[in-house]
Structure 1
């Protein structure tokens, strides 16, 4: 027993010296708690950084979607304006109007009542009257002799030939328009200029023929800009 007591005393003395008045077990527990707290703080910081990065990525994604939507909208508007401007092809129902000179009698004899050749030929004012009526009716697109018209296209006659976009055409002149056939027919029927053309057609045998088409294909405009505009009066040549 004295030996056991002596050993125990020695151990207690050593522990007291090592601890220097502190609780050894309590100190180890405190260090572990601090480490866990540091790890938790680090994880929290990383989670916050991740959340911020995710928010930034989402914001950039939303901006990209907005830009893509704006680009798509602008492209759609551009395509619609290309069609309206005549710079892209167009297919749809519409009207075909054919204009032609009157037939002359033997040896070029004029029809009864005609005073000159001006009475029996198609003039640029006749072509322009039909085109203006079609545009006024809201036609989506118009062509003459298969050539697409735009806002600055001029209809010019030289004698009884038609000069259009640098090319010359002889009658019959074929005018095609895509749009509401009801509205275009109505406008042709009520146009004063077209009424004058119909009067000459009835009196001297000019051709004024209107046909409805289930499908008309208009090409894109391929000419150069021409800022000249045709007159609308009929008498006095070309």
Structure 2
């Protein structure tokens, strides 16, 4: 016999009446999310990249990079040798060769010594009346004119005071003193150059700014002298070498 229902119980709700609306709601949310992701377009298009294609593309790129690595390793081995000690020794030898060209080594030989100094007071302790303070001191342009004239004459090495002049050296006047590589000097200023002394003297005699300085020597008592010597010594550059640009200087030999 069918079980009797209690008088207070009503009809039981059907599972389908509750489940169907929930399923429809979830389907609507899914469709809405799909539309938002695809932006109205087709998701599974025929031209969309497949995972297998992406993997193959990355594998090809890895292969290309491996080949480039092997090529560079072969180049390094052929240039410096397969032995680390041989490569280091070759680079040190080449560095020593370039160091001489860069002015890092001390040298000596026949040359010329030029000296510039400020004007001195006369026997009465006075300077010329029409002289201004700037007329009585050695300026940066005077020293630079001497250096340029010596380089033009083919000087092999030049030293200012006790420092080697290289491509990056920049003498500067600070008041009545000279600043070079962070060190200050007072007059007299001595320029030592190795090379053909006759050619250097001729270059100094023809340089317009040096000629002007010699006129001030006569007019206001500035100091200037040139001495030819059979052997002078020029120190090697000891300051930091800051490289701003570089180019190959030739292959390294073993």
State how 1:193-208 maps to structure 2 within 5 Å: 193-208=209-224
CA distance in 2, matches of 1:224, 1:79: 16
* Distance in 2 between residues matched to 1:226 and 1:99, nearest whole Å: 30
Q: Deviations over 1:4-30 (max 9, x none)?
A: xxxxxxxxxxxxxxxxxxxxxxxxxxx
CA radius of gyration, larger in? 1
Gaps of 5+ in 1: 1-63, 65-71, 228-238
Alpha-carbon distance in 1 for matches of 2:221, 2:207: 20
Q: 1:95 aligns with which of 112, 118, 121?
A: 112
Deviation of 1:85 (Å): 1.5
Give the gaps of 5 or more residues in structure 2. 1-80, 82-88, 244-254
Work out whether residues 153 and 225 of structure 1, in 8 Å CA contact, stay in contact via their aligned partners in 2.
Answer: no
Q: Does 1:189 align with 2:205?
A: yes
1:223 aligns with 2:239: yes
User: What pairs up with 1:69-80 in 2 under 5 angstroms?
Assistant: 79=96
> Secondary structure of the equivalent of 1:95?
strand
SS at match of 2:202: helix
1:150 aligned onto 2:150:
no
SS of residue matched to 1:119: helix
SS at match of 2:120: coil
Distance of 1:107 and 1:164 partners within structure 2: 35
SS, match of residue 214 in structure 1 = strand
Aligned length: 157
TM-score, normalised with respect to structure 1: 0.59
Contact 1:153 1:226 survives alignment (8 Å): no
Provide the rounded CA distance (Å) in 2 between the counterparts of 1:106 and 1:197.
23
Q: Equivalent residue for 2:192? A: 176
- Given the two structures, how large is their TM-score scaled by the length of structure 2? 0.56
Output the CA distance in 2 between the equivalents of 1:79 and 1:138.
Answer: 23
- Of stretches 97-106 and 129-138 in structure 1, the one that deviates more from structure 2 is 97-106
TM-superposed CA distance for 1:159, in Å, is 1.3
Match of 1:159 in 2: 175
Give the distance between the partners of 1:217 and 1:75, measured in 2 at CA.
Answer: 25
Which residue in 2 is equivalent to 1:110? Answer: 127
Instruction: Give the 3-state SS of the residue equivalent to 2:178 in structure 1.
Output: strand
Runs of 4+ in 1 over 4 A off after TM superposition: 72-80, 105-108
